[in-house]
């Protein structure tokens, strides 16, 4: 989920915590737990600081180690220990419990969007992305805002958020059923498909879908139960080609390939060499594929610029590649 949603969930958990008598009996204890749940709900995304290093490192590791099983156990100790050192107004165990719930819930809800996490690391580095909830779901955010308003005007926060979270649980169940209906429909048209990559949108009746068969990659959209086809590309392993092999030594392309499970590539001869472009097919928007990796090489196959990330116009991509040239000099 996005940062704003994680933030309101942290506050909501702080309200829910008053169901714990140890928290409810002491206003100072409540404030301490509220601080811990807010920080804990953001902690797994502290890896955003990797952007300061470069985009490749961020893409490769974001939602990776910081969302792993060891991290889910370690973050609550770090956060609750830090908060307890400043404000020891509650038993450490109860503070740790609510912090753990905040951290666990952060990682848990992240697996439901198309981006996913490596939540089962270190047992597997496979990305778990269920494609059920959009990375920002207005309903989830507004339900929390509604809860805050009720709380402001006198509703008991514990019961209020307990009921609202039960409603959100039912919402998740409904979205699972809706996603499965789309996948079942797609499987009827492609019974031999080896994989379906599904991404939800703001529109509950619209889903992005990439269908992988043994021969083709079909980029489609499901809208109101009807499947619309946009593009279709041959599905084949990355070729053992000297230009692509040289490009794969680049850290930006390496980061892209570590994250993206379905893509196509284009090799283009340009004035001073070659351009290798990999395009993630999952995020088609208005005819454009915004998540890409581009590597430009000289005639001797030495890399002179590259970029990976979210780009929504060719002009912006050119600016990023120009900036990249300075790093290779």
Q: If you average pLDDT over residues 159-188, what whole number do you get?
A: 96
- Residue 193 in any domain: the answer is no
The domain boundary, picked from 126, 153, 174, lies at 174
The domain boundary, picked from 125, 157, 174, lies at 174
H/E run at residue 292: strand 291-298
Residues 7 and 152 in one domain: yes
For 128-141, how does the pLDDT look when each residue is reduced to its tens digit (9 = 90+)?
Answer: 889 999 989 999 99
Q: What domain range includes position 249? A: 242-328
Residues 153 and 277 in one domain: no
The domain boundary, picked from 149, 174, 199, lies at 174
Q: Is the pLDDT of residue 327 over 70?
A: no
pLDDT for the residue numbered 259: 86
Residues 248 and 113 in one domain: no
Q: If you average pLDDT over residues 240-266, what whole number do you get?
A: 92
Q: What is the largest CA-CA distance in the chain?
A: 72
pLDDT for the residue numbered 248: 93
- Residue 290 in any domain: the answer is yes
Q: What integer best gives the mean pLDDT of the chain? A: 91
Q: If you average pLDDT over residues 209-219, what whole number do you get?
A: 94
Q: Which residue has the higher pLDDT, 117 or 54?
A: 117
The one-character DSSP state at 47 is G
Q: Could you tell me the pLDDT band of residue 37, with boundaries at 50, 70 and 90?
A: very high
- Residue 212 in any domain: the answer is no
Residues 141 and 259 in one domain: no
Residues 24 and 166 in one domain: yes
pLDDT for the residue numbered 227: 92
- Residue 61 in any domain: the answer is yes
For residue 259, the number of C-alpha atoms closer than 13 Å in the C-beta half-sphere is: 30
- Residue 23 in any domain: the answer is yes
Residues 7 and 83 in one domain: yes
Residues 114 and 262 in one domain: no
Q: If you average pLDDT over residues 61-78, what whole number do you get?
A: 90
Residues 250 and 167 in one domain: no
- How far are the Cα atoms of 186, 285, 301 from residue 205, in angstroms, in the given order? 15, 16, 46
Q: Could you tell me the pLDDT band of residue 266, with boundaries at 50, 70 and 90?
A: very high
Closest CA to 126 of 139, 134, 114, 117: 117
Percentage of residues of the chain with pLDDT beyond 70: 98
- Residue 39 in any domain: the answer is yes
- Residue 78 in any domain: the answer is yes
For 79-120, how does the pLDDT look when each residue is reduced to its tens digit (9 = 90+)?
Answer: 999 999 998 888 899 999 999 999 999 999 999 998 888 888
Percentage of residues of the chain with pLDDT beyond 90: 70
CA distance 265 to 279: 6
pLDDT for the residue numbered 64: 82
Q: Is the pLDDT of residue 36 over 80?
A: yes
Residues 12 and 143 in one domain: yes
Query: Cis link prior to 122 (omega < 30° from 0)?
Result: yes
Q: If you average pLDDT over residues 52-62, what whole number do you get?
A: 74
- How far are the Cα atoms of 47, 110, 280, 287, 308 from residue 229, in angstroms, in the given order? 37, 28, 17, 12, 27
Residues 152 and 251 in one domain: no
pLDDT for the residue numbered 100: 97
CA 66 to chain centre: 13
Residues 11 and 159 in one domain: yes
Answer positive or negative: Cα dihedral of 109, 111, 116, 117.
positive
Q: Which residue has the higher pLDDT, 302 or 116?
A: 302
pLDDT for the residue numbered 49: 75
pLDDT for the residue numbered 192: 87
Residues 149 and 250 in one domain: no
- Residue 136 in any domain: the answer is yes
Q: Is the pLDDT of residue 69 over 80?
A: yes
Q: How many domains does the chain have?
A: 2
């Amino acid at each position: 989920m996005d940062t704003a949603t994680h933030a309101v969930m942290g506050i909501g958990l702080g309200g829910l915590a008053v169901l714990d008598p140890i928290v409810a009996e002491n206003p100072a204890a409540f404030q301490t737990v509220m601080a811990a749940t807010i920080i804990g709900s953001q902690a797994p995304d502290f890896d955003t600081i990797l952007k300061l290093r470069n985009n490749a490192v961020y893409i490769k590791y974001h939602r990776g180690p910081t969302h792993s099983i060891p991290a889910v156990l370690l973050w609550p100790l770090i956060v609750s220990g830090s908060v307890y050192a400043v404000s020891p107004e509650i038993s450490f165990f109860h503070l740790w419990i609510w912090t753990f719930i905040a951290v666990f819930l952060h990682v848990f809800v992240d697996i439901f969007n198309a981006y996913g996490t490596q939540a089962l690391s270190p047992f597997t580095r496979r990305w778990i992305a269920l494609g059920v909830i959009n990375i920002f779901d207005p309903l989830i955010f507004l339900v929390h805002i509604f809860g805050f308003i009720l709380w402001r005007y006198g509703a008991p926060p514990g019961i209020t958020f307990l009921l609202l979270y039960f409603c959100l649980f039912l919402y998740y169940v409904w979205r699972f059923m809706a996603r499965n209906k789309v996948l079942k429909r797609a499987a009827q048209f492609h019974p031999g498909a080896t994989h379906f990559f599904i991404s939800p949108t703001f529109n509950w009746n619209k889903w992005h879908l990439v269908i992988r068969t043994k021969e083709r990659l079909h980029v489609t959209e499901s809208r109101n139960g009807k499947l619309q086809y946009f593009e279709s590309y041959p599905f084949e392993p990355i070729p053992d080609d000297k230009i692509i092999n040289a490009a794969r030594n680049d850290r930006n392309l390496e980061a892209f390939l570590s994250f993206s499970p379905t893509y196509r590539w284009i090799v283009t001869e340009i004035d001073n060499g070659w351009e290798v472009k990999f395009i993630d097919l999952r995020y088609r928007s208005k005819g454009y594929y915004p998540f890409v990796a581009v590597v430009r090489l000289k005639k001797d196959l030495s890399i002179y610029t590259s970029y990976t990330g979210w780009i929504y116009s060719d002009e912006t991509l050119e600016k990023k590649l120009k900036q990249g040239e300075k790093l290779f000099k």
